[in-house]
Structure 1
Amino acid sequence: MSAPFSQRFKEARMLNGFSLQDLANKLHAEQISISKQALHKYEKGEAIPDTQMLLQLSRVLGVRLDFFFQRHTVELSTPEYRKLSKLPVKEQERITAITRFAVSRYLELESLLDLNTPFINPLANFPEINELAEVEVAANHVRTQWNWGTGPLYNVLELLEDQHVKMILLQSEDSFDGMKAWVNDQQIAVIALNSVRLNSPDRLRFTALHELGHLLLPINHLPEKERERMCNRFAAAMLLPESTAKMEFGAKRNRLHLQELADLKKQYGISMQALAFRANDLGIITDSYLKQFIFMFYQHGWRQTEPAPYTGEEKATRFNQLLMRALAEEIISIDKAAVLNNQSLLAFRKQLQMVE
């Protein structure tokens, strides 16, 4: 028991963003007397807690008792965080642990349903990218390969799930927007998004496609700052292809109208600021006009909250759909469904009653 328990105990600690000392302090606050050194022995597999301590650890760490005995099978390779430089190491570890746990449950559910959904990279044979113009070509290629056309994209998160990208929504208060990672030797693509910071659907869409750029584009040879620039361009091109942008804006413009940008935002799900930058990227408006426009925009206090919202839906629902399928077909019990959904049986039953 010691090897899997030690791994899962560490995973539970990281899921909470605790150091060993944090956990010892939390346990002491709950009138549970145990030292940091004793917890360290649990984590190293040098000691095993008794049943009473297991129950207490389960409660304080907020995991089911059986969590400690599930074998850990998922490793994330090359995780890459947006805004990594500002993200504390402990929070990086917590986000990685949450993502790994969510993906492991996702893969277990697919296995129970006998589903094999490897991710096929549409840019697998694409040459190295060094210029922004090449990003435009890559984005058009992805849209073509995935039959997305050149019009507005509705529910980008669901569209990415249809292409077998595992979409994970989590909560972090720190300077973190999203991350990408691979599982099982690049057969499974993962994108995790911070729903606290990305509190509008247009921000969720843009960041999801930015992270997709990190997954797909052959740009690892470039410096980090240039990779970020390339992925921002990729996200914008995926949301508003060049041909569509020039159809909507025209080839050349002297100025843009706020209502025009508001209408395009509502139609294409791309922020008004990103639309202005997109027009500049494509040579539709000049650098000087873009600078003037952004200055005016910020003066009005619209940097974080724009004057026109995008009201489209952005939801990742595939995991829940598969869970309900497995439950309906009696492939899994309601108790197992609760485990896969990381809930207590009581909480899961209440959730089901809300839709019955």
Structure 2
Amino acid sequence: MKGWSLQELADRVGTITKQSLNKYEQGLMKPEGTTLGLLAKALELTTDYFYRSNRLQLGQVEFRKKAKLTAKETDSIKEKIRDYLERYLEVEGLLNFQHTFNSPFKDDEGRPSKKKVTTYDDVEEAATCTLHAWKLGINPIPNVIEMLEENGICILALETSSSFHGLATHVSNLPVIVLNKTDTPERRRFTALHELGHLVLDIATDDEKEAENFCHRFASAMLMPKEVVEREFGVERKRISTYELIAVKQQFGISVQAVMRRLHDLKVITAGHYKYFCIKISPNRQEVGLGKYVGETNQSYRFQQLIHRLLAEDIVSDSKAANLAGMTLSEFRRELMPTNE
């Protein structure tokens, strides 16, 4: 979960040897209750985590080549995803929920399908169809995470390596998007919609870079449809002011860099103009001093709401609810339970 070696974990706990941990891992020896408590504290888990028998099988999990993550970091991220989804699905099971993905594209029998795309025009059309299918219109999407969850996608935001930004996978019929909680709001919004592209588009290329570009284009078109670009900037420009870029960033929740790429893709600005901008912005990739979007949450609240529903209907105890939330009972009461509950 933390990406530590057995020796590093032993050092963190202080009273357990690497050899004992190895035996626990191989099932040759079972830790006592106090030992489990120490391990849970070091790993920032609940002891309930160690008693799960049927581990969830993740679908295909692909990390982008540019992520430059170590093997430990990728294993840690996968385990965090598995842990969260096991708890998420248990909560839905206790509530007898039938999870449904409201895919914007369906086959002849009404089942979720992917939209085949071979050109950037196809991608633009797919984004337009998605906006229409989900009744989003062309106005700014206030909260991308909430919008995706309302359409049946499970969102998990992790505090993890800055080299990781996002991925998409499936668990049975449950589509999952994982984001980096520490990214800027604009980056999270763009990444979430980029990963949505991986979930709903059938990209007709084996070139990973081209596939990523298709998903970039899809995310941009979701955040700023062509009609909006022409309304805000016109169809052809020689110069774009910083004021205009900041205003659009704050209204639409899309980074200045993504806006300029969108203008380049739609040929509102020339390739030379865009290249000059990229050189100019390169020392300030974090866009410090260039505004900020304030409407996006950095985490999912649906899971918390479901846990509180379990409590309100007396389906689980406070202690079980805390385990499902991945917290100790005291943490759960302090962070998620108002004093009048």
Residue 55 of structure 1: how far off its partner (Å): 3.6
Task: Indicate yes or no: 2:105 matched with 1:119.
Answer: no
**1:100 equivalent among 82, 87, 98:** 82
Residue 61 of structure 1: how far off its partner (Å): 3.0
d(CA) in 2 for partners of 1:24 and 1:302?
39
Structure 2, unpaired ranges of 5+: 106-111
Secondary structure of residue in 2 paired with 1:168: strand
Q: Which residue of structure 2 lines up, in the alignment, with residue 79 of structure 1?
A: 61
Residue 347 of structure 1: how far off its partner (Å): 1.5
d(CA) in 2 for partners of 1:68 and 1:234?
40
Task: Indicate yes or no: 2:329 matched with 1:310.
Answer: no
Alpha-carbon spacing, 1:151–1:73, altered in 2? closer, same or farther (3 Å) = same
Identity of aligned residues (%): 38
Matched positions, count: 333
d(CA) in 1 for partners of 2:18 and 2:141?
54
> What RMSD in Å do the two structures reach over aligned CA positions?
2.1
Structure 1, unpaired ranges of 5+: 1-14
d(CA) in 1 for partners of 2:196 and 2:268?
26
Secondary structure of residue in 2 paired with 1:320: helix
d(CA) in 2 for partners of 1:157 and 1:256?
30
**2:3 equivalent among 14, 17, 24:** 17
TM-score (norm. length: structure 2) = 0.90
1:144-293 equivalent positions in 2, closer than 5 A: 144-184=132-172, 187-196=173-182, 198=183, 200-219=184-203, 221-293=205-277
Could you list the per-position Cα deviations for residues 184-242 of structure 1 after superposition, in whole angstroms to 9, with x for gaps in the alignment? 1xx1011111112x1x2111101111111112211274221111111111110110111
Could you list the per-position Cα deviations for residues 107-131 of structure 1 after superposition, in whole angstroms to 9, with x for gaps in the alignment? 1111111111122432354553222
Secondary structure of residue in 2 paired with 1:78: coil
Residue 277 of structure 1: how far off its partner (Å): 1.0
d(CA) in 2 for partners of 1:65 and 1:302?
41
Task: Indicate yes or no: 2:119 matched with 1:110.
Answer: no
d(CA) in 1 for partners of 2:336 and 2:279?
49
Residue 17 of structure 1: how far off its partner (Å): 1.2
d(CA) in 2 for partners of 1:85 and 1:256?
31
**1:49 equivalent among 8, 31, 34:** 31
d(CA) in 2 for partners of 1:297 and 1:57?
45
TM-score (norm. length: structure 1) = 0.87
Q: Does the aligned pair in 2 maintain the 1:83–1:175 contact within 8 Å?
A: no
Secondary structure of residue in 1 paired with 2:176: strand
Alpha-carbon spacing, 1:33–1:260, altered in 2? closer, same or farther (3 Å) = closer
Alpha-carbon spacing, 1:26–1:220, altered in 2? closer, same or farther (3 Å) = farther
Q: Does the aligned pair in 2 maintain the 1:130–1:219 contact within 8 Å?
A: yes
